[in-house]
Amino acid sequence: MDLFQAMLRRFVGVGSLTIIDHKGVAHTHSGGPGPDVTLRLHDARVARDLLLNPELKAGEAYMDGRLTIERGTLRDFLTLYARNRGRLRGLPLQKALRRSLKTLKRWARPNTAGRSATNVEAHYDLSNDMYRLFLDEGLNYSCAYFRSPDDTLEEAQTAKLRHIAAKLDLKPGQRVLDIGSGWGSMAIYLAESCDVEVVGVTLSKEQLALARERAAARGLSGRVRFELTDYRDVEGPFDRIVSVGMFEHVGVKSFPDFFAKVSRLLAPDGVALLHSIGRKGGPGVTGAWVKKYIFPGGYSPALSETLTAIEGAKLWATDIEIWRLHYAETLVHWERRFQANRAKAAALLGERFCRMWEFYLITAEFSFRHGKHMVFQIQLTKDPEAVPLTRDYMGAREAELLAADRARGA
């Protein structure tokens, strides 16, 4: 406990943190103005766990009820952590842990087709009903695009679909591949708004069934087809390829193979658009808690390692856009909706799941708001003249799609 308290003294530079140990003794550590939080540790092992690996063990202890919040909220606690995270990572033990994790990264197993399917099942096949509790009506489980702070989640998600459609520079009748099609919103939007044919591939059985149901309900079964298929098994060619929120599951060792496959699938004059979570700094590692409980096999790539793989596939990166705080705002909406429906989530999947999920949503928000995460969109072509040479067409096409969406009440 003495070593643990010594760590906390160096950790808390902003805010105030009181720890009530398993014997009922309170220890307070204060810094500058900030959140005031009191935590209770319910057994002696919690302090030892937090000393050795706080980024993993804090989430586990909260999920299991071995760490409870006596004063303040979970958001207050995680705000305090986010404000002091740099001090924690500067401690010798934590620096050594990060170095070892980065070393182990080079020995990580690749995300094979079988492992990818298992990873997808662990997260995306939880329950369609659960995802309905916090996502927008279109079930878009990726970063929304807030053109205005007053946008609803539904408006911002539709704006994201419209923004991507404009970048794809679609022509009626073209054949489009959606890699990681989720519950189908991207494919359905492109078919309805741009008069194209779309093949969506996913590894989630729950998503597949609902996506097919949604397309059939909108009379699109002839123009939108969803398949339970790994992208590595798809046959082309396609005029356009889009992938939203899937690249994070490819795994860094498979980046060259991913872009080589995109190149093979893309028509000579085709256009691809990749939308992915990324990190501002150089290559890193996935947080231990997130990797274990939320996204097994997941990794948010740095632009440097992504562009290296793109160069290896001899593709042109014809446009790159960085979204900074859009995902933080998206997660605020998701967390509010989840809390409003928390009792329903508990009835579906239990109280421990709810504690895990709220921890995930808030820590994810803070990784974009206070940390190094962002979202990037990269437009790719084989031919440098496959798209207009200035970006003007994107804004013009987006305005046309917005007018059409408003006309049909979308």
Of 246, 245, 222, give the one whose Cα is nearest residue 234: 246
Exposure string (b/e) for 171-210, b if CB count within 10 Å is 16 or more?
Answer: eeebbbbbbbbbbbbbbbbbbbbbebbbbbbbbbebbbeb
Radius of gyration of the chain (CA): 22
**Calpha distance 307→259 (Å, rounded):** 10
pLDDT value of position 51:
85
What is the chain's pLDDT, residue by residue, as a tens digit (410 residues)? 578 888 888 888 999 999 999 999 999 999 899 999 999 999 999 999 998 888 899 999 999 999 999 999 999 999 999 999 887 776 665 666 656 655 555 556 666 766 666 666 656 667 899 999 999 999 999 999 999 999 999 999 999 999 999 999 999 999 999 999 999 999 999 999 999 999 999 999 999 999 999 999 999 989 999 999 999 999 989 999 999 999 999 999 999 999 999 999 999 999 999 999 999 988 988 888 999 999 888 999 999 999 999 999 999 999 999 999 999 999 999 999 999 999 999 999 999 999 999 999 999 999 999 999 999 999 999 999 999 999 999 999 999 999 999 988 76
Q: Is the alpha carbon torsion for 274, 278, 283, 284 positive or negative?
A: negative
Which pLDDT score is estimated for 126?
A: 76
**Number of Cβ atoms within 10 Å of the Cβ of 158:** 25
Q: Where are the beta strands (DSSP E) in 72-186?
A: 175-179
On whether the pTM is more than 0.85, the answer is yes
* Cβ atoms within 10 Å of 136's Cβ, excluding its own: 21
Output the pLDDT for position 88: 75
Question: Which run of H or of E encompasses 373?
Answer: strand 373-381
How is residue 302 annotated by DSSP? B
CATH annotation of 113-407: 3.40.50.150
Q: What is the per-residue pLDDT for 281?
A: 86
Question: Domain locations in the chain?
Answer: 2-105, 113-407
Looking at residue 105, what is its pLDDT? Answer: 55
Give the pLDDT confidence score for residue 111 in this predicted structure: 64
Residue type, 32: G
Q: Which amino acid appears at position 387 of this protein?
A: V
Q: Which residues is 39 bridged to in the sheet?
A: 19, 69
Give the end-to-end CA distance of the chain in Å, rounded to a whole number.
Answer: 58
Class of the CATH domain delimited by 2-105 = alpha beta
